[in-house]
A and B are shown apart, each in its own frame.
Chain A
Amino acid sequence: MTNTESLENVVLELRRGVIVLAALSQLSTEQYGYSLLKQLADQGLEVDQGTLYPLLRRLETQGLLESVWKLEEARPRRYYIISAEGKKILPKLKKEWADIVSVMKKMLA
């Protein structure tokens, strides 16, 4: 494995860890998968669709998201929104994230 590949893998792992928090934070209003993907990208977080869609399904299975199919412009779209359970854990996740950032800032200073 080359250095570039190793770096890419580590970066991928780092980003993968924050996608759950990023997705939950953006789903206070309902969105379908592709619109969420674009919204995350617009804010600087590029996520591979192969990662995001299975993740949304998993979060729904875990009860952190809810989804509903809607027909728009003759095209069915599955809209996701954060569930009551998701709303409960989101502040805790945010706090956890803030703590990690604070620790890492100190560590890397």
Chain B
Amino acid sequence: MKLIDRYVNEVGKRLLVFQGREDIEKELRSTLEDMLEERAQKTSKPADEAMEIELLKEYGSPEQVAMTYNPHPYLIGPRIFPLFLVIMRIVLLSTTLGMSIVMVIQLITQSPLMGSEFTEILGNGLGNIFSTLISAAGYVVLAFAIIERTVPDLGISKEDFNEKWDPASLAKEPSPDSVKRGELITEIVFTFIGLAIINEIFYFPIFSDEFRKFVPWINVIFVTEILLDIYLLRKAVWDTATRLVKIVMEVGMIAIAFIMLKTPNLLIFTADTFKHIPENSSLGAEGFMAIANLSISIALIVVIIVSAVDLGKAVIGLWRSNRKS
């Protein structure tokens, strides 16, 4: 095989285009042969391997040549890069927060808060957080690299993030309909953590069957919440439909939290629950049970208050926007 053919093959291997690869190779070979022939004529010598080597050196390495033809010289292009950054932040933040909370709960419930067991759980927890973050980041990059190459139009452009911004808005009061991205991202993160906890992705030996009866209902609300928040991140403003969804969701959450508050025995305590409490601890089994039951009541009351505030905001927003129109 001639040196030029081998060179063209090497360029071909590095081409990232799916269509027209053979065309590019054929055209490159033809050009190189033209150039070689011209050099031979100029020097009045037949073309030889030394001449080919000199020509190919000047033409550039196969990597360089292939790069000039590649339409995507980047893994994730400018078209979807802003969305990639938003999703990456959400994923990394929610993973770190979720796993940190789980680690703290494990430290409290499964270790005497000192000694080798404590250090082991802490070390394993930090190690898990680090490796999970790397995996999560890898999956996000992989997903976006695939989207970059397979989805021609996401309906999102760079302009959605930058150029549609109106400088005139700086002079105005912020619109009551505009969403607060920070709040939405925080809400997504905490809802993910909530989902992980109530679905017992991490083992908690205290949830009773009474508690588990509520889980499917809470899941529906939490998943709706996440989907609504992602939609709002994209849309950037509240409208009647999104406010109605929010109102239905918050009413549902308040109702569930209220019923749960009235339901006895949401938590169950076994000998297994208390095995990590040191024998000489001033907090005995009864004390631990009382604190746990009080904590879940407080958590449910907080949920009712937060949901009521969000419900109030949605109702007032809906009323205001309808009055304007």
Residues of chain B within 8 A (CB-CB) of A34 are: 30-31, 34-35
Q: B39-80 interface mask toward A, CB cutoff 8 Å, 1 = contact, 0 = none? A: 000000000000000000001100011001100000000000
Judging by beta carbons under 8 Å apart, are A57 and B33 in contact?
no
CA distance A49 to B35 in the complex (A): 11
Q: A17-36 interface mask toward B, CB cutoff 8 Å, 1 = contact, 0 = none? A: 00000000000000011100
The verdict on A76 contacting B20 (CB below 8 Å), with A49-B31, A53-B68 known, is no
Which listed residue, A50, A75, A78, touches B68 by the CB 8 Å rule? A50
The minimal Cβ–Cβ distance linking A79 to chain B, given in whole angstroms, is 11
Within 8 A of A (CB), among B1-38: 20, 23-24, 26-28, 30-31, 33-35
The verdict on A75 contacting B59 (CB below 8 Å), with A50-B68, A53-B68 known, is no
Within 8 A of B (CB), among A50-109: 50-51, 53-54, 57, 69, 75-78
Judging by beta carbons under 8 Å apart, are A57 and B35 in contact?
no
The minimal Cβ–Cβ distance linking B29 to chain A, given in whole angstroms, is 9
Judging by beta carbons under 8 Å apart, are A50 and B64 in contact?
yes
Judging by beta carbons under 8 Å apart, are A49 and B30 in contact?
no
The minimal Cβ–Cβ distance linking B30 to chain A, given in whole angstroms, is 5
By secondary structure, the B interface counts as helix
Judging by beta carbons under 8 Å apart, are A78 and B65 in contact?
no
CA distance A76 to B25 in the complex (A): 11
The minimal Cβ–Cβ distance linking A20 to chain B, given in whole angstroms, is 16
Judging by beta carbons under 8 Å apart, are B33 and A50 in contact?
no
CA distance A69 to B23 in the complex (A): 10
CA distance A53 to B23 in the complex (A): 11
The verdict on A32 contacting B30 (CB below 8 Å), with A49-B59, A54-B69, A78-B23 known, is yes
Judging by beta carbons under 8 Å apart, are A78 and B34 in contact?
no
Most interface-central of B59, B65, B68, B69 (chain A CB within 10 A): B68
Judging by beta carbons under 8 Å apart, are A78 and B26 in contact?
yes
Residues of chain A within 8 A (CB-CB) of B31 are: 33-34, 49, 53
CA distance A51 to B60 in the complex (A): 12
Which listed residue, A50, A51, A57, A75, touches B30 by the CB 8 Å rule? A75
Judging by beta carbons under 8 Å apart, are A57 and B34 in contact?
no
Judging by beta carbons under 8 Å apart, are B68 and A57 in contact?
no
The minimal Cβ–Cβ distance linking A109 to chain B, given in whole angstroms, is 35
Judging by beta carbons under 8 Å apart, are A57 and B20 in contact?
yes
Q: B219-256 interface mask toward A, CB cutoff 8 Å, 1 = contact, 0 = none? A: 00000000000000000000000000000000000000
Residues of chain A within 8 A (CB-CB) of B69 are: 53-54, 57
CA distance A78 to B35 in the complex (A): 15
CA distance A78 to B28 in the complex (A): 10
Residues of chain B within 8 A (CB-CB) of A33 are: 27, 31
Nearest residue (CB) in B for A50 is B68
Judging by beta carbons under 8 Å apart, are A53 and B27 in contact?
yes
Task: Please list the residues of chain A having a beta carbon within 8 angstroms of any beta carbon in chain B.
Answer: 32-34, 49-51, 53-54, 57, 69, 75-78
Would you mind naming 7 contact pairs between A and B with Cβ atoms under 8 Å apart?
A33-B31, A53-B31, A54-B68, A75-B30, A75-B33, A77-B30, A78-B23
